[in-house]
Structure 1
């Protein structure tokens, strides 16, 4: 089934602004009735990101409505996401039990996301996660003595 792309963009924007999980998107509210599944919205977002289309789309939306942005106060926030298979941008952090990857978000006073960083490594100097938890191999994690 085909759905209105504006509604898909609104669903993605809602997710980015609220920080909710993809599976918790209020599809009935965003689409005013029947809409695509949260998985379909995620796949569309991922496809646009891989082709670098999402950045172009969102930049165009922000530039057209920049008078509605409230930059009197801005907010920066971070997200630590557990990584189960490792990867270039994953590391242990001293206070985290699992290997994580991090992202930083910058938004205006209304909570409208303006910029998001790419994945960032953790701040630990103990080395990268290799896809398995150290504890599962019988080793001590870097934060335990």
Structure 2
């Protein structure tokens, strides 16, 4: 982590208010967590240059439970949008899902018959810049429309200005009407032209596909290695935090 990136990450991190004074360097702890994210190694295989793996995992697990990763991610997204001349609350976004294979690690999972994937499914809502707004992880057997309902029911306050969300044909049907009745924004289905063959670049749809490609650069996210769905979501927010803080720095 560069000095510029650390200047953005250090102020929002929670301070230790009880117990004995902290002896570990939070910068080294974050470097270790980012090392696990990028390389996909096990916690016990962290190099000796980092703090002991139990201390690193303690901070990762604690910040996953109390929502620190998500709050840090939302703060950096607002700052990056303002730096690019945008309002901190987006008015439009794009929604899509990604099925990821599971491993031998025990945990809930399902089978996506459409893509022949046994694992979990990531439902992502991003803004027009490709920055993550909400991540919701389910088993792979959950349909895209059902996963979108779960995601839209848990939108944070940063999505209060949303007016339009672009989706693909898998979200068409009753979901469009349900969204119009329950929320202030509408779902716009972007369909592929019937007369075209092969790859076609659809307008607005490439934004969320590019975000899914960014996540694939982290080996920890190439498959689902986690027992808990909450941990899967935490890794997604950490990966996007890493991308945004590098842009800010």
**For this structure pair, what is the TM-score category when the shorter chain's length is used for normalisation?**
0.3 to 0.5
Structure whose residues are more often helix by fraction: 2
State the TM-score, normalized to the length of structure 1: 0.48
Q: Which has the higher contact order (CA 8 A, sep 6+)?
A: 2
State the TM-score, normalized to the length of structure 2: 0.30
